[in-house]
Structure 1
Amino acid sequence: MEFHMKDVGFYTETPYGRLDVAGDEAYGFRPYQLLVASVAVCSGGVLRKVLEKMRMTIEDIHIATDVERNKEEADRVQVIKVHFTIKGVNLDEKKIHKAMELTRKNCSMVQSVIGKIDIIETFEIASK
């Protein structure tokens, strides 16, 4: 990726459109938002694949995040909580627990930050 400077922040062009990144949310995504999004969406994508390989029918996965930052250490991201609400047919809670373990081991973004950022992943099964 290549980034180009603008008045406030930077931007890059992707096949999906322009991505603006800036420390001020009025001018683009904040860097920490992209970090959190990368962890959450990578985990969600891996979880979906694992659940499908386990032959579970998934209708939807909603991902909610919460972030804790350490103001005394350059406002660094210290904890990312990722909560999955999974909707599907005949979902097996024990299999989902196993899928969560496999997801953590196979998500490249989670593996990239382990040891620096605590990733806490939880789930619930949505009622119909």
Structure 2
Amino acid sequence: MEFHMKECGIQTDLQFGELCVSGNEEHGYRPFQLMVASIAGCSGSVLRKILEKQRADIEDIQIVADTIRNPADANRIEEISLNFTVKGRDLDPAKMQKNLETARNNCSMIRSVEDSIRIVESIEIEEMDG
């Protein structure tokens, strides 16, 4: 990846378009937003792949990510909570929890930061009608 310094941040061109990163939301994505999105996106994608391999009847997966930051230490991210809601049919809660653990173990983004950022995950199931 190649980045170019702009007046209000940095910019790169990627396959899906231009990415602007700035500490000011008026000029681009904030770095912490990209960090959280990377972790949620990776974990969610791995979970989806696991469920597809199991041929689970899934309608939707939603992820709500909350962060705890430390303003006394450069506003570093100390914790990211990922709350998954899986909508589908005939989903076993124990199996879904196991799938979430497997996804965590196979998510490269979580594995990259797990020694410096606490990652907390939970999963809820919304059973859809037949």
Give TM class, smaller chain.
Answer: over 0.9
Gaps of 5+ in 2: none
**Contact 2:89 2:127 survives alignment (8 Å):** no
Normalised by the length of structure 1, the TM-score is 0.96
Q: Within the alignment, does 1:82 sit opposite 2:90 as a pair? A: no
Q: Within the alignment, does 1:52 sit opposite 2:47 as a pair? A: no
Match of 2:27 in 1: 27
Let me know the Cα RMSD of the aligned residues.
0.9
Percent sequence identity over aligned pairs: 51
**C-alpha separation between the residues in 2 aligned to 1:58 and 1:10?**
38
**CA offset at residue 7 of structure 1?**
1.1
Match of 2:116 in 1: 116
Q: Which has the higher helix share?
A: 1
**CA offset at residue 24 of structure 1?**
0.6
Match of 1:126 in 2: 126
Match of 1:42 in 2: 42
Q: How does 1:55-70 map to 2 (within 5 A)?
A: 55-70=55-70
**C-alpha separation between the residues in 2 aligned to 1:127 and 1:98?**
18
Q: How many positions carry a matched residue from both structures? A: 128
Normalised by the length of structure 2, the TM-score is 0.95
Q: Return structure 1 stretches of 4+ with deviation > 4 angstroms.
A: none
Gaps of 5+ in 1: none
Q: How does 1:69-108 map to 2 (within 5 A)?
A: 69-108=69-108
Post-superposition Cα deviations, 1:73-109, rounded to whole Å, max 9, x if no partner, equal: 1110000001111011211111101101101100000
Match of 1:11 in 2: 11
**Contact 2:90 2:127 survives alignment (8 Å):** no
